[in-house]
Structure formats: structure tokens, C-alpha cells
């Protein structure tokens, strides 16, 4: 851990922990879903303006972009935090639990936003950099379709607020608190969905020979789809096909006309992603045809693979090691979850990190999940130090 430089240290942010907890608990108690983050965005923007940032509101919806320029350096670094909550009834029993029934911060975006606000206050107070810090507070990460990242990019994010690289992070339940996981190249999966309607011919359950039973066909298709990964994908690649929903029929003595399936399809490379789409559609059509049925397929492409650039990941890893020590930094395994930060990385080099939320933390999207407050000064110090290092005189990335 470097002690001799003048960049932000964990000890510089620890005294701010109580203030950061107050911010985080306020956000946690007042969650807003994707596309509804009006009050959250106003809360964030007001604080940034009070610290002297040039703040632009309503970027790609409720997005907030804050810029601070110090010195004459021509470089700019962007750091992103997401703000939206989830439609989940909270069951933590915390004194600052959600005050909005059926909505909660079950993915830690309240913590992500708070850490970046902590870094923002520190950077504005110390001004120990030469260039422009661009802070991106993004709405609607959980949206799935037309996400906040896509909306902000479409609204001219990178043209209106130029940057040389962009960084982000997500908390990671199961990893020790205060540890950081990094990885070059693919880190999080592309997540696509196939909605399949198996169409047969309904009839009386006692006369199946006069029908084309879509229930039987759908059950067979569920098993057949598992052969795509097992027999069409290179064993050295990673892919997942999960049939998460199947609905058909209303009564035991009635064979229905059709059955609906919802299939989650995840991959870590564009080549595998394309092959999965091709094979799922081909296999579905041909498999159901063998039973005399037909299929309607709606194949939706979700978030792409999160691909970290090598140079920026190496730089971010160096910053983390300086801040918390080698023993608290490790290589992140491939994560089959998805993240719309991928869209930012299609336009700019950068890196997406993972911050351990504790080995006993509830999993993400769980009604008993809670962001670990011990991480607030860690994340704030990480972002402050990264910005200072990236924009140091002469450049250090």
C-alpha cells in the first residue's frame, strides 16, 4: 500500500463515514424504480451543486451528470453510479427500511450512489487533480429494455460530456467486505430472452390421439434446449440456457391449444451469443415440428457482454492495490449476471469492478439484502484516488 504519495487514502474518507451513512440511509428509505428517480436525482444534483460542480439534470431521463475542472489538463475521466431501486417488498426490519411499499434498494444502488457522492465531495474540497472529473449518476439500470445507459448515450452523453475513459463498480455479496475484484476482458454476461409459444391442437384429455398436445411438446423442448450448450457450444466457452417459466392449460381433463415458455440465455462472447440465438430458434422450430406442432418465437437481445479494456483494468487494479493492499484484491470470476454498463464500454475504454459486500450478505434482489455501510468510505476513497491518479499532472494511466 502506497503511503508516500499525496493521493486520496482510506484514512481521508473514514471521518466522513457517518455523513455517508446518513445519505445512504435516506436513499434506502426512499427508493424509486427505473424511470421514476425524480426525487433521487434532485437529491443528488442539489448536493453536487452545493459542492461547486457544473450539474446537468435530466440526461437520458432522470440522469445527472456533474463536471468539475481543475487546472489546465485536457484529460477527463468519467465515473458512473446507478440510482434506481427494485419492485420488491423489503423484509430487512432495518430502522431505515423502505418507506415505499413494494419498492426497495435490493441491489445496492443506494450504496453505489452514496460512494460516488462521497468521492465528489472530497474531490471538490481538495481539488488535487489536473483535468476534468465527470460523474455520471445513471437512472434505470434495472430496466432491461431501453435502459438508463442506452438513454444517456442516446441523449449525447459522450458528445456533451467528453471523457477519455469510464469506470464503474457493483457490490458483490459473498466476497469479504472491503475487498475488490477486478478482471480484464469479459466480466459479466450478455442476457437475452426467448419467449416461445408452442402451438398444438387442443382437445379432451381422454382422446389425446385427436390432439397435438403442446404440454408434452413443451416439456420435451425444455429438455432439448439443454443440448444447445452441451453439444453446440465449445466446452471452453461459458453459456447458460434456463427455462424460467412455463404456462399452459387450466384443467386436468383439457389439453390446451398452446403453451408459453420464457427462456433466459446468457453468454460471454459475441460469437457464442449469435450461435445461441441461431440454435435456440432452429432447434425450437424443428423440435416442435416433429410432434406436429408449430412455434412462435420472440427473441429479445438484452444487455451485451461487459468487456473491460486491458489498460484501464490494469490501472484500476493498481489504484485499488495502493489503496487497500494486495491481499484485498483478487481476480473476479465470470459473472453470469448482466449490467448495462456494457453499453458505456462499447463507446469508451474503461473497467467495471466488484466490491465485496460481505461473506454473509444476502444475495442481490433478495428482500433481506442490505448494502454494507463499512464499504462507503472504501468506495468513496477508491473513486477519489482513481480520479486523482488518472488526472495527475502528466497522466498516470
pLDDT at 2 over 80: no
What pLDDT, on a 0 to 100 scale, did the predictor assign at position 397?
43
Q: Is there a contact between 306 and 345 (Cβ–Cβ < 8 Å)?
A: yes
- pLDDT tier at 4 (50, 70, 90 boundaries)? low
Q: Is the model's pLDDT at 394 over the cut of 50?
A: no
pLDDT (tens digit, 9 = 90+) per residue, 259-310?
A: 999 999 999 999 999 999 999 999 999 999 999 999 999 999 999 999 999 9
- What the block records as the C-alpha cell of 149 is 445507459
82, 121, 141, 312: the catalytic one is: 141
Mean per-residue pLDDT over the chain, rounded: 96
* pLDDT tens, position by position, 160-219: 999 999 999 999 999 999 999 999 999 999 999 999 999 999 999 999 999 999 999 999
pLDDT at 1 over 60: no
Mean pLDDT over 19-25 rounds to 98
E runs forming strands in the chain: 54-59, 63-70, 76-82, 131-138, 165-172, 180-182, 185-188, 190-199, 203-204, 239-247, 254-255, 258-267, 294-300, 306-308, 329-331, 350-356
Whether residue 141 lies in the annotated active site = yes
The single residue of 32, 82, 84, 388 carrying the catalytic annotation is 84
> pLDDT digits over 116-166, tens only?
999 999 999 999 999 999 999 999 999 877 899 999 999 999 999 999 999
CB 259 within 8 A of CB 284: no
Which pLDDT value is given to residue 146?
A: 84
Asked if 248 and 261 touch (Cβ cutoff 8 Å), the reply is no
Interstrand relation of 185-188 and 239-247 (parallel, antiparallel or unpaired): unpaired
> Is residue 280 within 8 Å of residue 241, measured between CB atoms?
yes
User: Is 159 an annotated catalytic residue?
Assistant: no
Tell me, what's the pLDDT at 381?
98
Name the pTM for this structure.
Answer: 0.92
Amino acid at each position: 500500500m502506497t503511503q508516500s504519495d499525496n493521493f486520496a487514502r482510506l484514512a481521508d474518507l473514514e471521518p466522513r463515514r457517518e455523513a455517508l451513512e446518513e445519505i445512504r440511509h435516506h436513499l434506502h428509505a426512499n427508493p424509486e424504480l427505473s424511470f421514476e428517480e425524480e426525487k433521487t436525482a434532485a437529491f443528488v444534483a442539489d448536493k453536487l451543486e452545493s459542492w461547486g460542480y457544473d450539474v446537468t439534470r435530466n440526461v437520458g431521463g432522470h440522469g445527472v451528470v456533474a463536471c468539475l475542472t481543475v487546472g489546465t489538463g485536457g484529460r477527463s475521466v468519467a465515473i458512473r453510479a446507478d440510482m434506481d431501486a427494485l419492485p420488491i417488498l423489503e423484509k430487512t426490519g432495518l430502522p431505515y427500511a423502505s418507506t415505499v411499499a413494494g419498492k426497495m434498494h435490493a441491489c445496492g444502488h443506494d450504496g453505489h450512489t452514496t460512494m460516488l457522492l462521497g468521492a465528489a465531495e472530497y474531490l471538490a474540497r481538495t481539488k488535487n487533480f489536473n483535468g476534468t472529473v465527470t460523474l455520471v449518476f445513471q437512472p434505470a439500470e434495472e430496466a432491461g429494455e431501453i435502459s438508463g445507459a442506452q438513454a444517456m448515450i442516446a441523449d449525447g452523453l459522450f458528445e456533451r460530456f467528453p471523457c477519455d475513459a469510464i469506470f464503474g463498480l457493483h457490490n458483490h455479496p459473498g466476497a469479504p467486505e472491503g475487498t475488490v475484484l477486478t478482471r480484464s476482458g469479459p466480466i459479466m454476461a450478455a442476457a437475452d430472452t426467448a419467449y416461445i409459444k408452442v402451438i398444438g391442437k387442443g382437445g379432451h384429455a381422454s382422446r389425446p390421439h385427436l390432439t397435438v398436445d403442446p404440454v408434452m411438446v413443451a416439456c420435451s423442448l425444455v429438455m432439448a434446449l439443454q443440448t444447445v450448450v452441451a453439444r453446440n457450444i465449445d466446452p471452453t466457452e461459458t453459456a447458460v440456457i434456463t427455462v424460467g417459466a412455463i404456462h399452459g392449460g387450466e384443467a386436468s381433463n383439457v389439453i390446451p391449444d398452446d403453451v408459453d415458455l420464457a427462456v433466459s440465455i446468457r453468454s460471454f462472447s459475441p460469437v457464442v451469443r449469435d450461435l445461441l440465438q441461431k440454435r435456440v430458434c432452429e432447434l425450437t422450430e424443428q423440435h416442435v415440428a416433429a410432434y406436429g406442432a408449430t412455434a412462435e418465437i420472440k427473441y429479445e437481445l438484452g444487455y451485451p457482454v461487459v468487456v473491460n479494456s486491458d489498460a484501464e483494468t490494469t490501472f484500476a487494479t493498481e489504484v485499488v492495490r495502493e489503496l487497500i493492499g494486495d491481499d484485498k484484491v483478487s481476480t473476479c470470476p465470470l459473472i453470469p449476471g448482466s449490467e448495462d454498463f456494457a453499453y458505456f464500454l462499447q463507446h469508451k475504454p474503461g473497467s467495471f469492478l466488484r466490491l465485496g459486500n460481505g461473506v454473509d450478505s444476502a444475495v442481490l434482489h433478495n428482500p433481506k439484502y442490505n448494502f454494507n455501510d463499512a464499504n462507503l468510505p472504501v468506495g468513496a476513497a477508491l473513486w477519489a484516488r482513481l480520479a486523482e491518479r488518472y488526472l495527475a499532472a502528466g497522466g498516470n494511466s
